[in-house]
Structure 1
Amino acid sequence: MAEAMTVPQRVRGLFRLTALAGLALLSACQTIVPRGPAPAPEQKAPPPVSSTEVQPGLPRDTARNRVALLVPLSGANAGVGKSLANATQLALLDSRNDKVRITSYDTATGAGPAAQRAIAEGAQLILGPLLAEDVRAVTPVARAAHVPVLSFSNDVSVAGDGVYLMGYTPGQSIERVVSYARSKGVTNFGGLIPNSLYGSRASTTFLRAVESSGGKVVSLQTYDRAAGAMAAAVARMAKDAPFDGVLIADSGAAAAAGAPLVRKSSPQVRILGTELWNSDSGIAARGALDGAWYASVSNGLYRQYAAKYRARFGAAPYRLSSLGYDAVLLTVRISHDWKIGAPFPEARLRSGEGYAGIDGAFRFGRDGVAERALEVQEVKAGGTTIVSPAPGNFAR
């Protein structure tokens, strides 16, 4: 468990008082004891226990509400976990908030026990965890204590009933890029989908989005991670060519490998991508994706945040760390109506109220999933260009 805080003023004062008491005791040892029988020692009542005395474990805090950050601080995912923890520290400093205290707990040693410790130590709100399986371990513990969870996962199956997801969900980005493609005349769609849970959910959203927008999915092919699997999927799809647009629901690197194969059968095809591309720092250097469209959160404010993060911590942040920063901004905003020591006002999260952060505007739907205002970007040589800005407000 790690926590960024300074030594309380009362503790420093206690150190000074202890030193003065030691000097007084030394002076008393140098006094002359009179002859004769010593008087009976005076019976004194024991001193009262001060409510501000330092106690084992975390000190009591009557001036701030406790928030727990549950992220992996060791193990394979320690890098992103520590980046999220740094982001929360930066957000507290930037917001100059003095009503919220964040304590970090390592989920790599057990997410359920970490949640139990956090709640036992007074946490009234949980930020994290990062992984869906950790959210499942934390959920029953948090629900039993009526403590809301703001998770960084993008697995919509773990949302609801006190669990809120801030992660970027593939469904929203696919719906946004398909809608934009339709507005630009793309009618016949193809899809290349990896055999995974992500791919399964992406394909369902893709089919629904194309149908609802008046387009047509001509071919939908899946592939695994074996060598040559994507090429085989493209060869199967080519039988139904040509296409106006093809969604490759995979990373930027995988899409860059598949795009040239797709263009052999459909030279004028528009390649479409998902929010995964936004976490690929080298996306602009992938020439095979020149002209491709993908939908994601905005990067405008993130660039400023990343520069500030590097200046403070001496390293670049993980792209997902902005979720930690925005979770703190949301908490700080609500803290104005959060009485010290009272339960977190969860009703604010269910109200449909919109929030602004590094990743743009968002709000929580009835399902507990963050609905985000997404922009559409086009990959260009040496960079990306916004071809459809994020909407200024949410449609009701």
Structure 2
Amino acid sequence: MQALRAEDPENLGGHRLLARLGAGGMGVVYLARTADGTPVALKVIRAEYAAAPAFRARFRREVRLATGLTGRWVVAVTAADTEAREPWLATAFVPGPSLAEAVDGLGPLPSDTVVSLGARLAEALGELHAVDLVHRDVKPGNILLVPDGPRLIDFGIAKGAGATALTAPDAVIGTPGYLSPEQTRTRGGEVGPASDLFSLGCVLSYAATGRRPFGTGEAPAVLYRTVHEPADRTGLDQLPPPLRSVIDGCLAKNPALRPTAAAVHSALTDDKHRDNTLSTGTDWLPPAVLRLVAERSARALDPPPRTEGPEPLNTPTAQGLSRRRLLTIGSSTAAVLAASGTGAAVLLTRGHTTTGGSSRSNTPTHTVALHADLTGTQRALGKAQERGALLAVAAHNARKDVAYRLALTSYDDGGDTARARATARRVLATPSISAVIGPSTTAGARAAAPLYAAASMPVVLVSADDEAAGLSTTTLRTLCVTRTSDSSQTLPILFYLTKARATRRTAIIQDRAAGETAVEISRNLVETPPSGGTVSVHQVAAGTSDFGAAVSQALAAHPQAVVYAGTSPRRAAACARALATAGFTGAVAGFESVMRADFLTAAGQAAEGWVFGAPYTEPQSARTTPAKAFTAAYRARYGAPPGRWSAEAYDAVGLIARALDALGTTTAIEPAQVAERLFHISYEGVAKPIRFVQGTTHTMDTENTSFLYQVEDGAFRFLGRYDQVLSAQPELACCAAATIRRYVPSRAMADGLRGLSTRST
């Protein structure tokens, strides 16, 4: 929700305007109130679009169709003026998120929720079909979620029997991925009610699994899969039989084999328990979605005051956030933009978008591409980075003194290597892009980073391990890596065992299943032992899961600490159980690749107390002012604590902006210039300080850039940045820092302890 600007009217059609809910290329959506105080969402179409006869005819039809609908699960039009220079319509204000926003942000919905969703949408479609109307664009973005049930919106392309087409004969009507095969084939021609049922099957499959049944990517590829290939059924076998049967039936390629809306409604409500679930109303949504609804309802009651200039957002600062400005950052316009037909994705991802107003109309825009897995197996990581980057872009653009604006465009490779290469080519074919953040996965980085480097495009790796991907910042001159590699994670553990546990005798369980990584970890600790003491190494063969013998040998030396040098969560759990069985009570440490639910489950109580070094922060648990501000902004916008790697993505945008600042904005800036500047600046981020070793390697200085976690009550508890863990004990921290400086020269830190062969005396 944004404040009204100087150019916005105070009243329109008897409605008092209160705030901006969002804006896109076609118009603006306002929060308004009627004369009796009822809140509405009021959509105003820009005059240049309204001047096109076909567009105005479509708008008239949308108003006519939506005005005539009276079903419980549709959003009613309360007023409209289709003949004004800038035509407008008002609908009931629905404060809930769209289904797309809920699933993409919070994950798949519980099966009971999907059953209720399907029954109510089937009821809505049945009412449409009963009056010879076909929606033709049933998709997650056109479904809003509120406590008493879903709302089906956007009837701009709905069509009834005998209606005149308003699109070109070869146009595909609807949204790829949710179109029926016959919609794809007929390209604007007649389709029947069965087409909406196919789309409903796609929607329910997505809601239940978080996966689009015909994948993602370029529209032609998605349309081809829709017509010629079976739907992706991953996760459907875990659903209740009635829901699974409904989805399978709706996704039949032959329209004649699909159930009717009435049949779907009956199938999902013929069970007594499900019928009770449907009738209770407010308990159909999970708590996280209800929190989003509550937050947005509260914002509607406290709209921001009108501003004199075009400043739609504000930024988290070291001094913190006011409540109103925090709500401004946190507001999400996706639901209302979806209701208006404007499209939230345009607002969030299209480059070179201006905010309006004369003072910024000539401000240049630099576009940053986010290359990530947004729909594959690591989509949670990709979405967290996208959210962090979006917050950073909003924060930059909110500054009153900006010389340029930023835009973020997201590209999804689905975690697939071939798609990662294709995605890189798409990015490089877009001339407006100044830098790339990502890819988010190691496989994607391995495939795409060389393509970016060959084109002199700066690519900032946030989460992908360059070493694991086989990449070199020495040969790939525009590759900017802002995380420590897995083999460089020795430093936080070394620091911990020196300053927190004063360990003089350390034993390493070297898991040969981890290959060179385990050898590298062992070598670093042997050459630079904790507290300057002694280190013994005890190997476990890759072909065995029995850690008992190695643990017995290790404990014979009476170590004060044991370090698991390996990468497997389950094998680390076997090591933990062997140590617990042997009665070891000293410090036990491992590395980030082990920090998975599998380790906690398999190790059980034996996992308690284990300490891990990791390359990412947990901002909601950090005590710094920037971390607190970032967490507050993230929670306000997304209704959840920051996801893993989101703060690092936020910092990646800040790093790129710092490079752009250094280059100036009076002339066009080439990506190669940005790449060169990145390695000569320092940036104090939300997560960590970012600076680079000057020379040919372009590597990040790894000092003070890693974090410590400890298993406590069956969960990984954030301890803090490794150099700040004992900040409450300054005398111990000071002593420890001196010890580390003695045994780990700063240049060795910058090189991640790799290849360390000498130490100062």
Q: TM-score range by the shorter chain?
A: 0.7 to 0.9
Shift of 1:117: 1.2
Task: Tell me what 1:158 maps to.
Answer: 471
2:689 aligns with 361
What's 1:7 paired with? 25
- Which of the numbers 370, 377, 385 marks the counterpart of 1:84? 385
Corresponding residue for 1:299?
618
- Output the CA distance in 2 between the equivalents of 1:332 and 1:301: 24
Question: Scaled by the length of structure 2, what TM-score is found?
Answer: 0.40
Aligned to 1:349: 678
The amino acid across from 1:173 in the alignment is: Q
Q: Partners in 2 of 1:372 and 1:279 — Cα distance?
A: 25
On the 8 A contact 2:503/2:533 being kept in 1, the answer is no
Correspondence 1:210 to 2:526 = yes
2:428 aligns with 119
Normalized against structure 1, the TM-score is what? 0.73
Find the aligned partners of 2:52 and 2:412 in 1 and give their Cα distance.
Answer: 35
User: Contact between 1:115 and 1:142, CA under 8 Å: does it hold in 2?
Assistant: yes
Point out where structure 2 has 5 or more consecutive residues left out of the alignment: 1-21, 29-44, 58-349, 354-362, 399-403, 623-627, 726-732, 748-761
Q: What amino acid is the match of 1:14? A: E
Tell me the C-alpha RMSD between the 2 structures.
Answer: 4.0
User: Which of 583, 590, 610 matches 1:273?
Assistant: 590
* Aligned counterpart in structure 2 of residue 389 of structure 1, from 715, 719, 724: 724
Write the distance in 2 (CA, Å) between the matches of 1:310 and 1:281: 28
Q: How far apart, in 2, do the equivalents of 1:164 and 1:201 lie?
A: 22
Which residue number in structure 2 is paired with residue 70 of structure 1?
Answer: 371
Q: Is the 8 A contact 1:150 1:327 kept in 2?
A: yes
Would you say the 8 A contact 2:568–2:593 is kept in 1? Answer: yes
Once the two structures are superposed, what CA deviation does each residue of 1:97-145 show, in whole Å capped at 9, x if it has no partner? 5522111111236112211111211222111002233223223322232
Please tell me whether the aligned partners of residues 508 and 522 of structure 2 are also in contact (alpha carbons under 8 angstroms). no
The aligned counterpart of 1:107 is 413
Deviations along 1:280-320, whole A, 9 cap, x unmatched? 6997x964344433334543556644554344234555312
**Residues 1-396 of structure 1: matches in 2 within 5 Å?**
6-7=24-25, 12-18=46-52, 63-96=364-397, 99-108=405-414, 110-122=419-431, 123-151=433-461, 152-156=463-467, 157-160=470-473, 161-183=477-499, 184-193=502-511, 195-196=513-514, 200-213=516-529, 214-222=532-540, 224=542, 229-230=544-545, 232-240=546-554, 241-242=556-557, 243-248=559-564, 249-250=566-567, 255-265=572-582, 267-276=584-593, 287-296=605-614, 297-300=616-619, 304=628, 305-306=630-631, 308-315=633-640, 317-338=642-663, 339=665, 341-344=668-671, 345-351=674-680, 353-365=681-693, 367-370=697-700, 371=702, 373=704, 374-376=706-708, 378-380=710-712, 383=717, 385=719, 388-389=723-724, 395=746
Which amino acid in structure 2 is aligned with residue 200 of structure 1? Answer: E
- Counterpart in 2 of 1:47? none
Task: Spell out, residue by residue over 1:256-286, the C-alpha distance to the aligned partner (whole angstroms, 9 max, x if none).
Answer: 5532412444624320122346676997x96
**Separation (CA, whole Å) in 2 of partners of 1:117 and 1:6:** 24
Q: How many residues align?
A: 352
Which shifted more, 174-183 or 251-260? 251-260
Q: Is 1:68–1:102's contact at 8 Å kept on the other side of the alignment?
A: yes
Matches of 1:282 and 1:310 in 2, distance apart? 28
Give yes or no for contact 2:351–2:407 (8 Å, CA) kept in 1: no
Distance 1:325 1:251, change over 3 A: farther
Q: Determine the C-alpha separation between the residues in 2 that align with 1:359 and 1:137.
A: 27
For residue 80 of structure 1, report the CA deviation from its aligned partner: 2.2
- CA drift of 1:325 comes to 1.8
Three-state SS of the structure 1 residue aligned to 2:612 is strand
Structure 2 vs 1, CA of residues 89 and 384 (structure 1 numbering), >3 Å: closer, same or farther?
closer
Give SS of 1:116's match: helix
What is the alpha-carbon distance in structure 2 between the residues aligned to residue 237 and residue 267 of structure 1? 10
Partners of 1:144 and 1:12 in 2: how far apart? 42
- Aligned residue for 2:465, secondary structure, equals coil
Contact conserved, 2:495 with 2:723, CA < 8 A, in 1? Answer: no
Aligned partner of residue 364 in structure 1, secondary structure:
coil
What's 2:342 paired with?
Answer: none
| Paired residue type of 1:158 | L
Pairwise CA distance, 1:236 = 2.9
Give the conservation status (yes or no) of the 8 Å contact 2:368–2:437. yes
Aligned partners of 1:294 and 1:90: how far apart in 2?
29
The gaps in structure 1 that reach 5 residues or longer are 24-57
Contact 1:192 / 1:246 at 8 angstroms: preserved in 2?
no
Cα gap change, 1:140/1:252 in structure 2, threshold over 3 Å: closer, same or farther?
closer
Check 1:143–1:168 CA distance in 2 against 1; reply closer, same or farther (3 A cut): closer
In structure 2, how many angstroms separate the alpha carbons of the residues matched to 1:253 and 1:357? 34
CA contact (8 A) 2:547 2:574 kept: no
